[in-house]
């Protein structure tokens, strides 16, 4: 049996899960999305993802088409109907169908869909050997142009960054702010370790307020590792003892080089490994059951 998708109040087969070409999510990227993970029939940090989604909707002045608790129930039901133990969940709310103009007031009703599918994991060797990354040529959107806390459907800025990574023969790239500070990667947040302490950039400068990033901040605190929100430059990366990335899809992944310069001698560092282990332990025990 194929996938069952939740679309605008109904559960439909993947083949019938279609949206209009007049949907402003498609025409203009006008909408919000979330990527969520389930581990062993438990959804990890579901409330945090829903809170970020609803904060994004508020920011783009889109009245939520359903209450948070109802959307939560539909996410859990989508997982159950697809009988998935481990899953990647995509929740999307668009401005809905309108005309060919930008005016969001012309869109009558938001489109909502939930896809729950198997997860395509990064190759295991990235986690043991670490990931080489580069600094993207493309700069991160300026926060005054695109509020960084909004996980909008318009991801072209990240896609340009991803193409910079691909051009350099790597899988991920660091995106700097317009004034040259480290913001984040195209789809992950970034941490460095120096002298036994962790640093990660403040989201206000232009990165997503990452849920995995916040989990790592919590785990570091519990492990007694000092952690600070810091303005970081490319030189701070090159001089770091360790570097790793965090994201719902990537989890915690070691970085072993930036633009060809080896970090930590090219092997995943101690704090990185401790955070990877603590994260994996937490996802095994915490979550909303379905
Ligand atoms: N930054 C960007 C640009 C992202 O798209 C994501 C999510 N893929 C992240 C960071 C990581 O955020 P989270 O841990 O909430 O998935």
- Of 30-34, 103-107, 261-265, 281-285, the range with the lowest mean pLDDT is 261-265
Instruction: Report how far ligand 1's centroid is from the alpha carbon of 106 (Å).
Output: 31
Nearest alpha carbon, ligand 1 atom 10? 188
Residues β-bridged to residue 261? 258
Of 94, 117, 140, the last residue of a domain is 117
Q: Which domain holds residue 197?
A: 125-285
Angle at 230 (CA atoms; ends 226, 233), nearest 5 degrees: 125
Q: 217-244 pLDDT, tens per residue?
A: 999 999 999 999 999 999 999 999 999 9
219 domain-assigned: yes
> Is 290 domain-assigned?
no
Active site residue 151: yes
151 Cα nearest atom in ligand 1? 5
Q: Is 254 a residue whose pLDDT tops 80? A: yes
Residues 6+ positions from 190 with CB-CB distance below 8 Å: 174, 182, 184, 200, 201, 232, 243, 244, 245, 246, 255
Judging by DSSP bridges, how do beta strands 42-43 and 288-289 pair with one another?
antiparallel
**Predicted confidence (pLDDT) per residue in 76-132, tens digit:** 999 999 999 999 999 999 999 999 999 999 999 999 999 999 987 788 999 999 999
What distance in angstroms lies between residue 94's CA and the mean position of ligand 1's atoms? Answer: 19
| Cα–Cα distance for residue pair 48/32, rounded to 1 Å | 15
Give the model confidence (pLDDT) of 8-60 as tens digits.
Answer: 999 999 999 999 999 999 999 999 999 999 999 999 999 999 999 999 999 99
Provide the total of helices (H) and of strands (E) in the chain, helices listed first. 8, 16
Q: Are residues 133 and 102 in the same domain?
A: no
Q: Is 248 in the pocket of ligand 1 (CB under 6 A)?
A: yes
225: its two tokens: 């590792």
This prediction has a pTM of: 0.97
What CATH number is given to the structural domain containing 55?
Answer: 3.30.470.10
User: Out of 151, 197, 270, 289, which one is annotated catalytic?
Assistant: 151
Q: 192: helix, coil or strand? A: strand
248 Cα to the center of ligand 1, angstroms: 7
Give distance in angstroms: CA of 188 to centre of ligand 1: 5
Q: Whose CA is nearest to atom 8 of ligand 1?
A: 187
189 & 68 share domain: no
Q: Which of 95, 117, 139 is the last residue of a domain?
A: 117
Q: Indicate if ligand 1 lies below 6 Å from the C-beta of 111.
A: no
DSSP letter at 123?
P
Quick one: which of 104, 245, 113, 120 has its CA closest to 170? 245
Asked, for residue 55, whether it belongs to a domain, the answer is yes
pLDDT greater than 80 at residue 1: no
Instruction: Give the count of domains, the chain.
Output: 2
**CB neighbours of residue 235 within 10 Å:** 8
In terms of domains, do 104 and 129 share one? no
Does 152 reside within a domain?
yes
The closest-lying atom of ligand 1 relative to the alpha carbon of residue 184 is 1
Q: Could you tell me how far CA 215 lies from the centroid of its own chain? A: 13
Q: Is 251 in the pocket of ligand 1 (CB under 6 A)?
A: no
Which neighbouring-strand residues pair with 175? 184
Pocket test for ligand 1, best of 138, 141, 187 (most atoms within 8 A of CB): 187
In a domain? residue 185: yes
Q: Is residue 49 a part of any domain in this protein?
A: yes
Q: Are residues 75 and 184 in the same domain?
A: no
Q: How many Å is the Cα radius of gyration of the chain?
A: 19
């Amino acid at each position: 049996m194929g996938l069952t998708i939740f679309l605008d109040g109904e559960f439909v087969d993947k083949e019938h899960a279609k949206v209009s070409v007049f949907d402003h999510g498609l025409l203009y990227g006008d909408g919000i999305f979330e990527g969520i993970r389930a581990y062993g029939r438990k959804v990890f940090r579901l409330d945090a993802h829903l809170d970020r989604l609803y904060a994004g909707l508020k920011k783009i002045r889109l009245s939520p088409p359903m209450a948070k608790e109802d959307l939560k129930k539909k996410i859990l039901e989508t997982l159950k109907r697809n009988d998935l133990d481990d899953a990647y969940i995509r929740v999307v709310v668009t401005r809905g169908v309108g005309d060919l103009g930008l005016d969001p007031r012309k869109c009558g009703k938001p489109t909502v869909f939930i896809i729950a599918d198997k997860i395509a994991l990064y190759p295991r060797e990235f986690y043991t050997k670490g990931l080489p990354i580069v600094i993207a040529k493309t700069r991160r959107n300026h926060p005054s142009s695109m509020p960084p806390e909004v996980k909008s459907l318009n991801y072209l800025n990240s896609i340009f960054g991803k193409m910079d990574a691909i051009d350099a023969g790597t899988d991920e790239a660091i995106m700097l702010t317009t004034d040259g500070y480290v913001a984040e990667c195209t789809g992950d947040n970034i941490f460095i370790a120096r002298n036994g302490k962790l640093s990660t950039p403040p989201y206000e400068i232009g990165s997503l307020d990452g849920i995995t990033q916040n989990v790592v901040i919590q785990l570091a605190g519990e492990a007694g590792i000092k952690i600070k929100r810091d303005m970081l430059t490319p030189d701070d990366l090159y001089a770091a003892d360790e570097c790793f990335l965090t994201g719902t899809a990537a989890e915690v992944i070691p970085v072993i080089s930036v633009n060809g310069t080896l970090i930590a001698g090219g092997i995943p560092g101690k704090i990185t490994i401790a955070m990877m282990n603590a994260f994996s332990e937490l996802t095994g025990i915490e979550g909303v059951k379905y």
